[in-house]
Amino acid sequence: MRNNITIAALMGLVTLLIACKTNSYVANVHPHNYEVNPWLTDGVAEYDSIIAPYKASLDQEMDEVLGANLAMLYKSKPNGSLGNWMVDALYNQSYVLFTDSIDFTVLNYGGIRIPNLPEGDVTRRNIYELMPFENKVSKLNADGRIVNKLVKRIVNYGGWPISEHLLIKVSDQDTLAYLNGDVIDHNARYTFLITDYVANGGDRCDFLSEAKREDSKVLLRDVFINELMDLTTNGKLIEVSSQDRIVYE
């Protein structure tokens, strides 16, 4: 089957844009129709033979088993086992990224790109599917006022993954956040990890620009890979706390 693709409209649009940009005009436009044959296979086999060794090498790397999962982990709001594992893994690996201690970790819900992590072997491919972006880890230090703004943003979005050290209680009267059992103090300062995307103001978190910031050079994806490899080295599987971290009262 052949498709006829006309570029007349595109040429007209380009002409209009050029005219607006340079205050010039084109006297004549000569549109043409070009035929595209999707069944054309000349040279495909040759290209496949060139790509095959690289594909085989990449597949071998991506199918490497990094660890194992006791039970399927799910992405869900306001609490989800997959998100819980991710923020806890980030917290566990924080000592590799930064020298000072971390109070809690937060990840945006939209950054989780798969609905679940299956039970059983977890491969490098699984982690790339989970986190395909080149996001890096940022450390922020902010007062409780900024932290509470972040907490309210999390609640407004229906819930984001937060590490087990943080508890958010939502009621008709108020939203309160607790760190290790203590209410977040407006005047105290807190250190937490988040993606550079959110630290840059993503997901309407522009208020985080007020925080003191330090960026790592480590991709978030590599954090999860390192966590899995550490678990495997110690003969452990992925286990996740089932405790809800965002509670509606």
Contact call for residues 154 and 145 (beta carbons, < 8 A):
no
- Provide the pLDDT for residue 24: 47
- pTM summary value: 0.79
Amino acid at 198: V
C-alpha closest to that of 108 among 222, 219, 195: 195
In a domain, 49, yes or no: no
Q: Does residue 91 sit in the same domain as residue 20?
A: no
What pLDDT is recorded for position 242?
79
The answer to whether residue 234 sits within a structural domain is: yes
Q: Are residues 143 and 231 in the same domain?
A: yes
Instruction: Say if residue 99 is in the same domain as residue 200.
Output: yes
Nearest-5° angle of CA 120, CA 124, CA 126? 60
Secondary structure (3-state) at 216: strand
> What is the total count of domains within the chain?
2
Answer whether residue 21 shows pLDDT above 60.
no
Question: What pLDDT does residue 49 have?
Answer: 75
- pLDDT category at 18 given cuts 50, 70, 90 is very low
What mean pLDDT is predicted for residues 188-216? 97
Task: Say how far apart CA 157 and CA 91 lie, in whole Å.
Answer: 22
DSSP code, position 238 = B
Name the residue range of residue 13's domain: 1-39
Verify that 83 and 187 share a domain, yes or no.
yes
In a domain, 45, yes or no: no
Give the three-state DSSP class for 82. helix
Q: What per-residue confidence (pLDDT) applies to 135?
A: 95
Report phi then psi at 226, rounded to 5.
Answer: -65, -40
Assigned domain for 235 exists: yes
| pLDDT at site 186 | 94
Is residue 71 in some structural domain?
yes
pLDDT of residue 5: 39
Residue 201, domain member (yes or no): yes
pLDDT at 209 > cutoff 60: yes
Mean pLDDT of the chain, nearest integer: 86
**What token pair was written down for 238?**
């992925």
In a domain, 173, yes or no: yes
Instruction: Please give the average per-residue pLDDT across 32-41, as a whole number.
Output: 63
